[in-house]
Amino acid sequence: MKKNVMFPPKTGGESRAEAQAMIDERAGTSAPAKAPAKAPARTATKAPAKTAAKGKAPAKDNKAVKAGGAVKKAAAPKVVPGTSGGPRILRLGLPKGSLEQYTLSLFARSGWRVNIGSRNYFPGIDDPEIECTLSRSQEMSRYVEQGVLDCGLAGKDWRLENQSDVEVVADLVYSKATPACARWVLAVAGDGPYRLPSDLAGKKVATELPGVTQRWFEERGIDVDVEFSWGATEAKVVSGLADAVVEVTETGSTIRAHGLKIIDEILVTHTEFIANAEALKNPFKKAKIDQLALLLQGALKAEGLVGLKMNVREDDAGRIVGLLPSLNAPTVAHLYNQKWLSVETVVSARVVRELIPLLRENGAEGIIEYPLNKVI
């Protein structure tokens, strides 16, 4: 079948050398810029600068070593980019862009505080064993595959688009603004003639995800012209630049606002914690990656949950416990020298406003609600 697809120009992440340059600046290994040439003397009457004495080389900062009559420069100490010269450093990639703010909040709830300065691609983190680099989610899987980064957080969609060979350590189900999945959908004009994907045979489809889109249509035997879009993709159907679009959405509201209708779903995506296969063979890095995965998943699981604690008379305990939705059976303990019980549980924050008045009506007292950072 004829493959007719236009991909964007290759930019970052096309080779290890190019990707490594992003990290080298921090480690101080990038080549310094050449100093501008000095301005010529204002008059021609000044004497020329003295030249070095015959047979003597001008002094230089680097020490020289004579060996067999030849002069060799002493080798500079080797600096490994991204490791600060030591092996016990994990190079972590954090997504820049739409996933950035939610990711920083998730790390804070997991126990790591990340500080991002203005125009700074190397955030600080309160863990001496981690070095952070900001990267666009579209390129993250490339850097992790190449080993420039040991691990990182990025969308499943871009891992599939890049066809990157990386290890998925954990699924972290959140997207731009919510702890939920996002969808790449196929959309057409609401009043147009297209009802099914097969109706688009021979037509133009604009998207920021051309690789996944092309493969999706090929699997269904539909020949379309897939064109890469640099953005504002929804407007291209309205303006006549494309017959259909494949665009990412969480709620579908932006799609509908542009007068489009969804006729199929291309991909369900969410954030993934991915790692380089070689990094996982390093015992220190694997342990650190496992620690991050455990606590990030725990913080994500605690999203939308709260703890409830209350005092209950023994006679009312059965009725109160029966009202409580819980991850497991609630914890019940006797109060010292009293015919009262302390009952504690974890419930969804969405049911608390109805649950607390009901508990109060059935005899619960001293009800306390408290937030949760992690549920492991």
pLDDT digits (tens, 9 = 90+) for 229-284: 998 898 999 999 999 999 999 888 889 998 999 999 999 999 999 999 999 999 99
Q: What is the pLDDT of residue 194?
A: 96
Rounded to the nearest angstrom, the gap between the alpha carbon of residue 129 and the centroid of all alpha carbons in its chain is 19
Residue 307 DSSP SS3: strand
* pLDDT score of 336: 83
pLDDT tens by residue, 104-154: 999 999 999 999 887 788 999 999 999 999 999 999 999 999 999 999 999
Residues of the chain with CATH 3.40.190.10: 81-178+272-301, 182-268
Instruction: State the pLDDT at residue 10.
Output: 52
Query: What is the bridge-based pairing of β-strands 365-371 and 305-313?
Result: antiparallel
What is the pLDDT, as a whole number, of residue 50? 45
Q: For residue range 6-31, list pLDDT tens digits in order.
A: 556 554 444 555 555 555 555 444 44
Residues 6+ apart with CB under 8 A from 252: 185, 262
Q: Which residue has the tokens 């007068």?
A: 259
Pairing of strands 340-348, 331-334: antiparallel
Look at residues 159, 278, 186, 217 and name the one whose alpha carbon lies nearest to residue 1.
217
Encoded amino acid at 209, one letter = L
Q: For the chain, give every residue range classified as CATH 3.30.70.120.
A: 305-371
Is-above-0.85 flag for pTM?
A: no
Q: Does domain 305-371 have CATH number 2.130.10.10?
A: no
**Beta carbons of 207 and 213 less than 8 angstroms apart:** yes
Tell me how long the chain is.
376
- Candidate CATH numbers 3.40.50.720, 3.40.190.10, 3.40.30.10, 3.40.50.280; the one for domain 182-268: 3.40.190.10
Report the percent of the chain where pLDDT is more than 70: 76
359 pLDDT above the threshold of 90: yes
Report how far apart, in Å, the C-alpha atoms of 231 and of each of 4, 123, 227, 234, 315 are.
20, 27, 12, 8, 64
Specify the DSSP element, H or E, that contains 95. Answer: strand 90-96
Average pLDDT in the chain: 83
User: CA 228 to CA 66: how far, in whole Å?
Assistant: 59
Distance CA 272, CA 331 (A): 34
Assigned CATH for 81-178+272-301: 3.40.190.10
